[in-house]
Amino acid sequence: MKLTVSKSKNSASFYVQKSIRKKDGGTTTITIERLGNLDEVRAKAGGKDPYVWAQEYVNELNRKEYEEQKSIIISYSPTKLLKKGEQHAYNCGYLFLQKVFYQLGLHKICDTITGRHFFEYDLCDILSKLVYTRILYPSSKLATNRQARIFIEPPSFELHDIYRALSVLAEENDFIQAELYKNSQKVMERRKDILYYDCTNYYFELEEADELRRYGKSKQHQPLPIVGMGLFVDHDGIPLAFDIYPGNQNEQPTLKPLEKKILQDYGLEQVVVCTDAGLSSKTNRKFNDLSIRGERIRSFITTQSVKQLPDYLKDFALDPDGWYLDGDDKTYNLNELDEDIYFDKVFYKDRWIKEDLSKRKIRQGAKPLEQHLIISFSLKYRNYQRKIRDGQIERAKQLINSGKYKQRPKNQNDPHRFIGHQVMTKDGEVCDRDVPYINQDVIAEEERYDGFYAVCTNLDDMGVHEIVRINKKRWEIEECFRIMKTEFRARPVYLQREDRIKAHFITCFIALIVFRLLEKKLDEKYTCEEIIHTLRNMTMQRPGEKQGYIPAYTRTDLTDALHVTSGFRTDYEIITDISMKRTIRQSKKK
């Protein structure tokens, strides 16, 4: 770098400039910093000659640059023991999560909360470490307190501070969610006209239930108290809002309160809510059937079980005649399809239906709910369902042969549903033993519905293909639940107090937003497992002489992509302490 002075008739301007080599082999000069005009530099010089001060300033910049770029020689002795208690390994993968954390303005949210409460611990430090460890090293709060010490920035808190902070986070739950949504729009444009809602539950390692943790039907088939969670995500799979409820509560009534809350707090206007069949009660459908002066405000798209349709609609759905392909006016018969030609095609038929009302409801002024019923059929989906069922039938045969079958309630994926039991003769005499067999009637009944899929909606201005496409993206919310339960290990939960349990799910929710946004920044080219594994293994070695940090991870396309999206690099052969401090500052910039 060099000092350049541009003189004019009445003044002079001072610049710090540097010559760089261009890709074509030539050189060019760029301005690193403008020091100001003569009067401004004289003021900075503090009585020293402005030209002398400016040159000394450039000399100092060159010295620092040299110190950062010069080769570093580190000596090791095979006879010298390590110092006890001295840490040499650190994780730097959290810095890429920290970039998103600060872009979401979570540090400012923590500052606002701190201003409303009286405590001395650093809430931002606690929350950030809870989020990073939930993604990279999911564990209990006790283990999290120890694990946070692997990060380059050491924690400033103790274990008791974490538990106190959890109570505060639970109290500020609504504020955190609303601010997160507002701030996230600055990080990524969020499509908020399509919302997906679903529920799941989490089990607890305890035997005694309480007001929140109740015995219910666990989705993990655990005979333990559970807590339910309802989650909204947007069209791109980014979490929007969540709520928890007692584990024995029906999940259908949970949709309306949370939806009302986000409509009010987030200022959403026209929305389409997409759910699965388990949440598509008549109450929920009617709530999302709202028009004002002919303009539709709330709409729904929900899956519909073909098996549970009224008989006349079931006959319509299963009739092999009258099927269409998107963009084709020709009608098809499913029994005449050539599998080689139409294996990957999706056929559909549709009609509008009205809800049947009793005379009493009609007298009370109730209006029927008009719905667009769309039935789709795919040979590929049919074959997939048959392959899955063939495997289940084979397991049922193995259970019979081994004698390990049970007469127990059967769910839709349990091979026991194919096992029948002969308990008496044709003459009505009681048998002296149970004779199990494969029930072909059950198999034949299930085969009737292979390949069929149904969707109901009240949208009247959207094509069938677009409605089906929107409904297919429900996998995004299933992916969110999978990430929380497997990668983030959000269950089982060991906390006891209700406020701390709520705070646990707040940190999981924030971690999910941070991770999903990072995933989107990487253009979704990498799987969840690849990203987390890479971040977890991005370790740094700290030489004994503490002259910097040496990367101890493998540089890959993914690590390169992480550096590009975050605007800093951690993959130089050695990173000086000064450079690492600069990198940490960059990870906390918007």
pLDDT tens per residue across span 319-378: 999 999 988 889 999 999 999 999 999 999 999 998 765 556 656 666 788 899 999 999
Query: Which range (209-213, 281-285, 351-355) has the least confidence?
Result: 209-213
Closest to 506 (Cα-Cα) out of 154, 126, 2: 126
Give the type of residue at 411. Answer: N
Which long-range contacts does 44-51 make (Cβ < 8 Å, 24+ apart)?
A: 50/14, 51/5
Q: Are strands 226-234 and 239-246 parallel, antiparallel or unpaired?
A: antiparallel
367-391: average pLDDT: 92
For residue 85, tell me if it sits in a domain: no
Helix (H) / strand (E) element for 28: namely strand 27-37
Q: Identify the band that residue 405 occupies on the pLDDT scale cut at 50, 70 and 90.
A: confident
| 173 token code pair | 């739950």
For residue 418, tell me if it sits in a domain: yes
Residue 17 bridge partners (DSSP): 2, 31
Q: Identify the band that residue 73 occupies on the pLDDT scale cut at 50, 70 and 90.
A: low
Give the type of residue at 204. Answer: F
pLDDT of residue 429 exceeding 70, the answer is: no
Phi/psi of residue 138, nearest 5 degrees: -60, 130
H-only helix segments in 15-122:
38-45, 50-69, 94-103, 106-116
State the sign of the Cα–Cα–Cα–Cα dihedral 268, 272, 273, 274.
negative
- Look over the chain and give the mean of its residue pLDDT values, rounded to a whole number: 87
Q: Identify the band that residue 76 occupies on the pLDDT scale cut at 50, 70 and 90.
A: confident
More reliable by pLDDT, 382 or 1: 382
| 412 token code pair | 């839709």
Q: What is the dihedral of CA 368, 255, 106, 498, to 10 degrees?
A: 160
Express each pLDDT in 542-579 by its tens digit: 886 667 899 999 999 999 999 999 999 999 988 888 88
End residue of a domain, out of 420, 447, 474: 447
* Distance in angstroms (rounded) separating the CA atoms of residues 306 and 352: 15
Residues in the chain: 590
Q: Please provide the distance, in angstroms rounded to a whole number, between the alpha carbons at the two ends of the chain.
A: 29
CB-count burial class (<10 Å; 0-12, 13-18, 19+) for 265: middle
Secondary structure (DSSP) of 519-585? HHHTTT-S-HHHHHHHHHT-EEE--TT---BEE-S---HHHHHHHHHHT----SS-B-HHHHHHHHH
161-185: average pLDDT: 93
409: containing domain: 382-447
For residue 164, tell me if it sits in a domain: no
Cβ pair 148, 126 in contact under 8 A? no
More reliable by pLDDT, 72 or 334: 334
C-alpha dist (Å) from residue 235 to 257, 319, 364, 471: 20, 33, 38, 10
Residues 6+ apart with CB under 8 A from 483: 512, 515, 528
For residue 345, tell me if it sits in a domain: no
* Distance in angstroms (rounded) separating the CA atoms of residues 357 and 462: 27
For residue 389, tell me if it sits in a domain: yes
Which of the listed ranges 323-332, 416-425, 479-488, 544-553 does the model predict with the highest average pLDDT? 323-332
- Total domains in the fold of the chain: 3
Q: Identify the band that residue 140 occupies on the pLDDT scale cut at 50, 70 and 90.
A: confident
* Distance in angstroms (rounded) separating the CA atoms of residues 387 and 155: 52
Give the count of alpha carbons within 13 A of 454, CB side only. 22
Q: Give residue 69's pLDDT.
A: 66
- Eight-state DSSP code of residue 484: I
| 567 token code pair | 């605007």
* Distance in angstroms (rounded) separating the CA atoms of residues 78 and 150: 26
* Distance in angstroms (rounded) separating the CA atoms of residues 126 and 161: 8
Cβ pair 181, 240 in contact under 8 A? yes
**Mapping DSSP to helix (H, G, I), strand (E, B) and coil, where does residue 100 land?**
helix
End residue of a domain, out of 402, 420, 447: 447
* Distance in angstroms (rounded) separating the CA atoms of residues 105 and 189: 16
For residue 191, tell me if it sits in a domain: no
Q: Give residue 359's pLDDT.
A: 56
- The count of other CB atoms within 10 Å of the CB of residue 250 is 12
pLDDT of residue 164 exceeding 80, the answer is: yes
Residues 6+ apart with CB under 8 A from 1: 16, 17, 18, 32, 58, 61, 62, 65
End residue of a domain, out of 431, 447, 463: 447
More reliable by pLDDT, 161 or 432: 161
* Distance in angstroms (rounded) separating the CA atoms of residues 478 and 570: 34
Largest CA-CA distance found in the chain, in angstroms, rounded? 122
For residue 347, tell me if it sits in a domain: no
- Eight-state DSSP code of residue 418: G
For residue 431, tell me if it sits in a domain: yes
